[in-house]
Amino acid sequence: MPQRLPRNPFASSTTTTTVAIPSDRPTTRRPSTSKGNRLTQFFTSSPKSKEQQSAHEALLAAVAAQQQHLLNNPSPHISAPSLSLPTISLSTAKAGEANMDEPPTTLFQPPSVAEAKRQARIDAQFGPLGNQSHRYVSKHVGGELADPVIDEPPYYYLLTTYISYLVLIVFGHVRDFFGKRFRPEHYKHLKSANGYAALNSDFDNFYVRRLKLRIEDCFARPTTGVPGRYITLMDRKTDDFNKHFQFTGTYTETLNMSSYNYLGFAQSEGPCADAVEETIKKYGISSASPRADAGTSDLALEVEDKVAKFVGKPASMVFSMGFATNATSFPALVGKGDLIISDELNHASIRIGARLSGAMITSFRHNDMGALEKKLRENISQGQPRTHRPWKKILVVVEGLYSMEGTMCDLPGILKLKKKYKFNLFVDEAHSIGALGPRGRGVCDYFGVDSAEVDILMGTLTKSFGANGGYVAAEKHIIDKLRATNAATLYGESPTPPVLMQILSALKIITGELVPGQGEERLQRIAFNSRYLRLGLKRLGYIVYGHDDSPIIPIVLYNPAKMPAFSHEMLRRKISVVIVGYPATPLISSRARFCVSAAHNKDDMDRLLAACDEIGNVLQLKFSTGVAGGAENLPDGVTPGMEEEWKKANGLQGVIQPPRWSLREVIANGVQDVKQPLR
Amino acid sequence: MSFFSAPSMDKMEFSDAQRFVERSMHEITNRFQKVPGSAMLIRYIQSSYQDDPVRSAIELILVIFFVRYLLAPSYATHNNNFVTLTEEEIDDLVDEWTPEPLVAPQTAFEEADNEKLPVIVGPTGPKSKLSNGRTVTNLASYNFYNFVGNEQVKEKAIQTLRTYGVGPCGPPQFYGTQDVHMKTEADIASCLGTEGCIVYAQAFSTISSVIPAFCKRGDIIVADRAVNFAIRKGLQICRSTIRYYEHNNMEDLERVLQKVVKEQSKKPLTRRFIVTEGLSETVGDCVDLPKLVELKLRYKFRLMLDETWSFGVLGRTGRGLTEAQNVDASQVDMLVGSLAGPLCAGGGFCAGSTDVVEHQRISAASYTFSAALPAMLATTASETLNMLQTTPEILVQCRENIKTMRAQLDPRSDWVHCTSSPENPVMLLVLKSDVVNSRRLTTQEQERVMQECVDELTKQKTLANGVLITRLKSMPVAPGSNGKDDQWKLQPALKVCITTGLSKKEIEKAGVTIRHAITKVLTRKTSSKLALPAVS
């Protein structure tokens, strides 16, 4: 009989404490309690176990558990089983005397099925923090921002990449040649007919038709539910090589490495969602008017005030779409006679906004301060083309964090130039707001720069805040002027009340006004996860782009066929990743991109690393040479400062070994090494 | 010490370098020999040198030229207008240069506008509370059917919130497409009767993206002269050739079409589009769609119809202009609409054939490069669209209210008349032409008069009489432009938005208040020109 009962009464959620006694009662037949697990000793009332563990000790342990619980409090849930069940056995607290008649009074009630389900749901949106050591403060270490080292694979991979594209293109043309003759109906939209020109150009469509279609199933995978720590994909299949998809009616829950959910605010439970629900009840779903008409609510003003305070500017304005924020802000700021100098990798919305403004546009090499200075000197000295009149003003536009490269802008470098060349600076913090800096306030916070030095801070509210829309923050007179001249304020819909409330409550959590401690935890978790994953991937042998603290982690795949292969292999391991190829990246460097979130925990990162380890072997993706990091740790007693000397002494000068760590080593060393400068 | 050791160091390094060169030469030769065909190449060069050294020299020069050509930039980096300056001169010029301030100072009118911006405290509804403490009759929001206060809609939104959270945290192509978006797309497509539909995250930027997705350099667009700002931006960015025709004048359109066809007859065929609005945002009147379709078919143009203001408004069940004028929606090639206005949700859409829709998924900038619509706004749009289909009575009620308001304003007011179509719940009231002419009011002065009317209405003496309306905002002028670029200027107007949330009596009362306020402003002794500081 007793053997059939679970050894740990708390292992099963349905077992109640009263039933649990017999499992520990038959001590007469059991040789000793040492066999039972440590946990049960906490709860037992049997005299035998008391011999080993005094009531005092039990209390101490319970108090320690409670303290640990308090420490962990900002996290919605504590994972370690020994901590999650802080039960105090009151009967043991009674000194010495065994009281067999009374059932043990415990504070703990095991969760019901519904409760456990709910908890699982919450955990699927925001993972529990495994250990308090899995935190890190995202902050620039000082000194100049070094450009990340771009590693290159053996030429074999570059060559095969070009050959692959060549084969794809030749094959595509062959298929087109026969297709156009034997199946003209498939090319209808590319041919002029009945006096109408073709809707799409044959040439432009070639890439989509012959290259992208092959990997169409890796894009736009439909999802359902919350895009939190996990994301639920709707399974689909195709009978005609990705032209059409049929839903199979099944769902797959995958680890979400694809959403821009940096701080994990994509949640349908918790303080944000509760606040949003209240807002819907009170305000309804829409303001039904542009901001300049009757769409300005008290809520919108409050959010603007909060956003301004958050980014450290006197005033701000919010919009219902991040893309439109850029597309309408440039025309309101600059025009004819002005010059926009834009980083070559700036987002499409910036390019469109800049084009709409009518100002002259020129670009400089990504993050290259030398190139920017050269451009500035040339343009200021030459003035406007043909007339040589001086520019009315020059606006330099950079992004805080680049979404395809994972690099940060060299803000200190730009500000140094700004002092000398007197240009205006516009920083698009679409990806960096919330994701960078010890207080999550973007690149200025990360570099410890006063945000007053940047003229315009723009950002989206879609990513870190789990809401939608964008903001522009600047001096008050600039914002006042923008209110009158920005088209999205005059004609575009205003952000809806639930979205505003999501922004507001997320901001309050980050700043600590709401659920103190949780915001800090989120910020430190994303910083830890980012570094941990980046270091792990480098050690496994991947070529990883970007700066160390960036939560966007692209790994380079090169060969086009590896894009779908990587995506499929990841999906098989229930991980959803984004793959990006030409034209979003240079032809050669197609990549997979991981977006790290505060909703992930170390277990998730380990799971991803394990998957990457396996896939990297199968697909031959571990081609780093070691110049970009992932090196072996220095032996004990050798500090990074002594590294050069030590290398010299051991004849290792200039020797760079390609990092190929085993998964076990990566995981074993990860947590402590992340806290040092990554090597 | 160092003096003596230096030469030996040099020597060491020199011999090192020599060894290094030797080693690398050896390496290179080795590698080169391993490349397939290298032996052949060497043999060829050797034999050709023996036969004809001159030829080899020419070949070498050709190779060098080829390499140089490849490495040279493909265009001139500096035009002949480039002034060569020394570094010192550049430094001086840099020091000298003083940029203008980032934004121009606010004009007095803008400042006043900013100050008077109404702030609604609490929910938007037929009666809204303003931040100054007054409760006013709200005739400024596009809350035509009072969906904002609808409990069923709220309930649905909360359900969605509890399943999907708020934002989808990603663009549609990267895991941002949710089943609710697909459902909304399907709902709209089936409601209109088109093959497909694509939902954008913001109504305002939808048409600005749809136009450049299809219209490229060399294509021809014939557009209505009075099109709204969003269309203008789309036209600006697409680089196509733009021709305008007089607002809603079908004869003029035909004239322009004929001209285009004649001009283009000798040239290769390019895409041609007609771009116009169903209900005009700037004038409020309605286009003659059957005629438009007839013309587009006759002259082989494609039609882009912006139904931002007519979808959810016109037709028996609010399906828009196509329903109201009995035109098959598939006759319209790209039908753009809003889910944010009458439907009280968020986002915009473009309906059309499958080819048209799928093309936008990868080439429309504000779809591809923007996060998807929040799930709850998508489900709300589905819900309100469904409510319009199942209870068309609310549309009838809305039209009744429009009629009531119109009766109070259009025939009775001596000063303004309504340019909107009789079924348009956005009533645009412009000053009558004789008023404008007799007082010689410029556009800016008219704008100021309108603003005074708006102000007058919100500060009514008796609390119950306060009415919140707004005015048609003039299009922002780009910094640096002299304002002469646009030939077309919209006429300033008052904007009165009707809602079913108010009873006939309340509408009537609000109508009377508006009429009296307009009269009061226009008969004010201090001429309106003095009421506000002059526009700079």
Q: Please report residues of A whose CB lies closer than 8 A to that of B168.
A: 223, 227, 259
Q: How many CB atoms lie within 10 A of CB A325?
A: 28
Tens of pLDDT, residues A659-675: 999 999 999 988 988 88
Mean local confidence (pLDDT), A243-266: 94
**Averaged over A198-227, what is the pLDDT?**
91
Position A105 scores a pLDDT of 64
**Average pLDDT for A276-284:** 94
Closest CA to B226 of B499, B507, B489, B501: B489
Q: Has residue A35 got a pLDDT over 70?
A: no
Task: Give exposure, B11-34, as e/b (b: 16+ Cβ within 10 Å).
Answer: eeeeeeeeeeeeeeeeeeeeeeee
A288 to B141: CB separation less than 8 angstroms, yes or no:
yes
In this prediction, residue A429 carries a pLDDT of 94
Residue type, A282: K
**Hey, what CATH topology would domain B150-390 get?**
Aspartate Aminotransferase; domain 2 (3.40.640)
The DSSP element (H or E) to which A123 belongs, if any, is helix A113-125
Residue in chain A nearest B371 by alpha carbon:
A462
Tell me whether residues A199 and B119 touch, CB distance under 8 A. no
Beta strands A339-343; A394-399: pairing state: parallel
Are A498 and B201 inside 8 Å of each other by CB?
no
A118 touches chain B (CB under 8 A): no
Distance CA A606, CA A625 (A): 23
Alpha helices for B410-503 (secondary structure H): 433-439, 443-458
- The amino acid present at A156, given as its one-letter code, is Y
A478 at the B interface (CB within 8 A)?
yes
Q: What is the CA radius of gyration of chain A?
A: 29
Contact state of B97 with A321 under an 8 Å Cβ cutoff: no
Q: Which helix (H) or strand (E) holds A256?
A: strand A246-256
| A323, closest residue in chain B (CA to CA) | B370
In whole numbers, what is the pLDDT of chain B averaged over residues? Answer: 88
Give the pLDDT confidence score for residue A222 in this predicted structure. 95
Is the pLDDT at A15 greater than 60? The verdict is: no
| Angle at CA of residue A466, ends A463 and A469, nearest 5° | 65
CATH number of A271-511: 3.40.640.10
Q: Look at A292 and B162 and tell me if their CB atoms are within 8 Å.
A: no
Which of A141-145, A206-210, B83-87, B190-194 shows the lowest per-residue confidence on average (mean pLDDT)? A141-145
Confidence of residue B336 (pLDDT cuts 50, 70, 90): very high
pLDDT (0 to 100) of residue A50? 42
Q: Tokens 């209390």 map to which residue? A: A59
Q: How far does the CA of residue A276 sit from the closest CA of chain B (Å)?
A: 8
Distances (CA, A) of A243 to A216, A246, A567: 8, 10, 19
Q: Is the dihedral of CA A513, A516, A520, A522 positive or negative?
A: negative
The token pair at A38 is 């440590």
B426 near B495, Cβ under 8 Å? yes
Per the prediction, chain A carries an average pLDDT of 85
Report domain extents, chain A: 2-113, 129-209+241-251+517-679, 271-511
For domain B108-147+395-531, give the fold: Aspartate Aminotransferase, domain 1 (3.90.1150)
CA A534 to chain centre: 12
**Which pLDDT value is given to residue A64?**
59
The span from the CA of A272 to the CA of A249, in Å, is 31
- A-contacting residues in B 223-242 (Cβ below 8 Å): 228-230, 233, 236-237
A522-536, A570-584, A648-662, B99-113: least confident range: A648-662
For chains A and B, what is the number of CB pairs under 8 angstroms? Answer: 394
Task: List pLDDT tens digits, range A64-99.
Answer: 555 555 455 555 444 444 444 444 554 444 444 455
Residue A592 confidence (pLDDT) above 80: yes
Residue of B nearest to A334 (CA): B479
Contact A484 B106 (CB under 8 A): yes
Asked if A496 has any chain B CB less than 8 Å from its own CB, the reply is: yes
Segment B6-21 shows an average pLDDT of 69
What does the domain layout of chain B look like in residue ranges? 1-34, 108-147+395-531, 150-390
**Per-residue pLDDT at A640 exceeds 80:** no
Beta bridge partners of B120: A297, B130
pLDDT score, position A314: 96
Contact B118 A335 (CB under 8 A): no
H or E stretch at A69 = helix A55-71
Rounded to whole angstroms, what are the CA distances from B513 to A168, A481, B507?
A: 71, 32, 10
For residues B175 and A635, the model is more confident at B175
Per cent of chain A over pLDDT 70 is: 84
Please report which residue ranges of A512-588 form alpha helices under DSSP H: 518-540, 562-572
State percent of chain A over pLDDT 90. 63
pLDDT of A49 reads: 44
| C-alpha–C-alpha distance, residues A625 and A125, integer Å | 37
The yes-or-no verdict on residue A31 having pLDDT over 80 is: no
Residue B531, pLDDT score: 43
Provide the pLDDT for residue B78: 63
d(CA B306, CA A491): 15
Structure tokens at A216: 């169409």
Q: Is the torsion defined by CA of A205, A208, A214, A216 positive or negative? A: negative
- Rounded to 10 deg, the angle between the A322-333 and A476-485 helix axes is 100
Position A6 scores a pLDDT of: 42
Residues of A in contact with B177 (CB under 8 A): 220-223
The predicted-structure confidence for B247-302, as pLDDT tens digits, reads as follows 999 999 999 999 999 999 889 999 999 999 999 999 999 999 999 999 999 999 99
Q: What is the CATH number of domain A129-209+241-251+517-679?
A: 3.90.1150.10
Residues near B290 by beta carbon (within 8 Å), at least 6 away in sequence: B325, B326, B327
Interface contact flag, A322 B371, Cβ < 8 Å = yes
Interchain contact, A380 vs B97, CB within 8 Å: yes
Neighbours of A583 (CB within 10 A): 9
- Cβ contact (<8 Å) for B344 and A281? no
Q: What does the alpha-carbon distance between residue A562 and residue B97 come to, in Å, rounded to a whole number?
A: 52
How far is residue B435's CA from residue A393's CA, in Å, rounded to a whole number?
Answer: 43
Is the torsion defined by CA of A177, A178, A180, A181 positive or negative?
Answer: positive
Is the CB of B480 less than 8 angstroms away from the CB of A359?
yes
Partners of B161 in beta bridges: none
State whether B167 and A492 contact (CB < 8 Å). Answer: no
What chain B residue is nearest to A212 in terms of C-alpha separation? B362
The pLDDT tens digits of the residues spanning A367-387 come to: 999 999 999 999 999 999 888
CA distance A21 to chain B (A): 40
Q: What is the maximal distance between C-alpha atoms in chain A?
A: 102
* pLDDT in the model for residue B196: 95
Q: Among A422-426, B437-441, B526-530, whose mean pLDDT is lowest? A: B526-530
Q: Does B167 touch chain A (CB under 8 A)?
A: yes
Higher pLDDT, A145 or A381: A381
Check whether A8 has a pLDDT greater than 80: no
What is the pLDDT averaged over residues A146-165? 90
Per-residue pLDDT, B399: 94
More confident residue, A432 or B59: A432
Would you say residue A617 has pLDDT above 80? yes
Interface with A, mutate which of B79, B174, B398, B454 (most A CBs under 10 A): B174
Chain segment B385-425, per-residue pLDDT in tens: 999 999 999 999 999 999 999 999 988 888 999 999 999 99
Chain A 209-238, residues with CB within 8 Å of chain B CB atoms = 212, 219-228, 231, 233-234
- A347-369 pLDDT per residue, tens: 999 999 999 999 999 999 999 99
Q: Residue A497 in contact with residue A280, Cβ under 8 Å?
A: yes
Q: How much is the pLDDT for A29?
A: 46
pLDDT score of B199 more than 90 = yes
Instruction: Compute the nearest-CA separation of B331 from chain A (Å).
Output: 14
Inform me whether the C-beta atom of residue B475 falls under 8 Å from chain A C-beta atoms.
Answer: yes
Residue B350's pLDDT band (boundaries 50, 70, 90)?
Answer: very high
Probe site for chain A from B93, B102, B198, B500 (most A CB atoms < 10 A): B102
- Chain A residues within an 8 Å CB radius of B110: 480-481, 484-485
pTM of the model: 0.84
Cβ-Cβ contacts under 8 Å, A324 against chain B: 202, 204-205, 366, 370
Q: What is the pLDDT of residues A293-302, one digit of tens each?
A: 988 999 999 9
Measured in angstroms, the CA of A592 and the nearest CA of chain B are apart by: 12
In the predicted structure, residue A12 carries a pLDDT above the cut 50: no
- Return the pLDDT at B11: 56
**B351 phi and psi angles, rounded to 5 deg:** -105, 150
Q: Which of B118, B169, B481 sits opposite A466 (nearest CB)?
A: B169
Domains B108-147+395-531 and B150-390 share a fold: no
> For residue A487, what is the nearest residue in chain B, using CA coordinates?
B476
Q: Kindly determine whether residue B366 and residue A324, on different chains, have CB atoms separated by under 8 Å.
A: yes
Rounded Cα distance between A139 and A439, Å, is 9
In DSSP terms, A536 is beta-bridged to none
C-alpha distances in angstroms, B303 versus A360, B250, B267, B299, B315? 33, 14, 21, 11, 20
**Where residue B74 falls among pLDDT bands split at 50, 70, 90?**
low
In this prediction, residue B30 has a pLDDT band, given cuts at 50, 70 and 90, of confident
Confidence band of A553 (pLDDT split at 50, 70, 90): very high
Confidence of residue A28 (pLDDT cuts 50, 70, 90): very low
